[in-house]
Amino acid sequence: YFPVDVSKYQLVYRVIEQDKSKKEMKLSVFAVPNTLLDSYQTLANALGLQVVAMDYYGNGIYQAMMHSMPKELAATICIEDNSSLITIIQDGKTVLQRNIGYGIDDAVQAMMQSSLVASGTTYLQALEKMQMNLCFNEQLKPQLVTGNEDGAASMSAKESITRSLTMLIGNISRVLDYYTSRNSEAELDSIALVGLGADC
C-alpha cells in the first residue's frame, strides 16, 4: 500500500533479488509525481528536445558505485547544497539508501558571514573558496590554540563553519549507526564522498 493517491504518480521499480522457489521478489519501488514528470516534459518541449528516458538520482549513484567501489560493503555519501544521499551497497545490491535534509549550504552561509571572505562575497565565491582552502577544523570540538589576532579570527571563523556541519555530520552518523546496529557483522570497507560538498 502507498499512502498516496497512486493516480497522481508513476510507479517504477528495480528487482533487487528474486527467490523463484518461494515466488518472492525484493524490489526497490519509487513513486514519481506526475507533476514532476510533466514539468520535465514541458521544459524539453520548450527547448525543442524529446525526452527519451528519466532516471532516479539515487540510481545514478548506485550505477557509479557498481563501477568504482569495492563489491563487499561500501558507502557513498553524496553531499549537495540542501540535502545529502547516503547509499550503502553490499555484494552488488543496495542495502540502504537514505536522503537527509542537510548539505553544505549551512557551511557556505557561515563562510559568507565569516572574516575569511570579504563583505559582499557571493554564494558561489564562498563555495569556491571552501573548495580550494581548508575552512573547517579537523575535529568538531578542537583544542583551543593561542596565537596572534589574525590567527584567532581565522580560528573563530573556522569554528563557526565547523559548527554549521553538526547537523549534517550527526544525521550521517545516525544513518550509518542505524545500519551497523542492525547488521552487527557489517564493516564498511570504504566510504566515498561525492557531490557539491565533497571538495570542501
Q: What is the 3-state secondary structure (H, E, C) of the chain?
A: CCCCCHHHEEEEEEEEEEECCCCEEEEEEEEEEHHHHHHHHHHHHHCCCCCCCCCCHHHHHHHHHHHHCCCCEEEEEEECCCCEEEEEEECCEEEEEEEECCCCHHHHHHHHCCCCCCCCCCHHHHHHHHHHCCCCCCCCCCCCCCCCHHHHHHHHHHHHHHHCCHHHHHHHHHHHHHHHHHCCCCCCCEEEEECCCCCC
pLDDT of 116: 87
Gap between the Cα atoms of 77 and 188, Å rounded: 13
pLDDT of 190: 84
pLDDT of 89: 85
Phi and psi at residue 85, to the nearest 5°? -120, 125
Q: Which residues contact 35 (CB under 8 A, 6 or more apart)?
A: 8
pLDDT of 137: 83
Consecutive sets of 10 residues in the chain, 200 residues long: mean pLDDT of each? 83 84 86 92 96 82 73 86 91 85 94 90 93 84 54 73 92 92 83 90
pLDDT of 51: 92
pLDDT of 30: 81
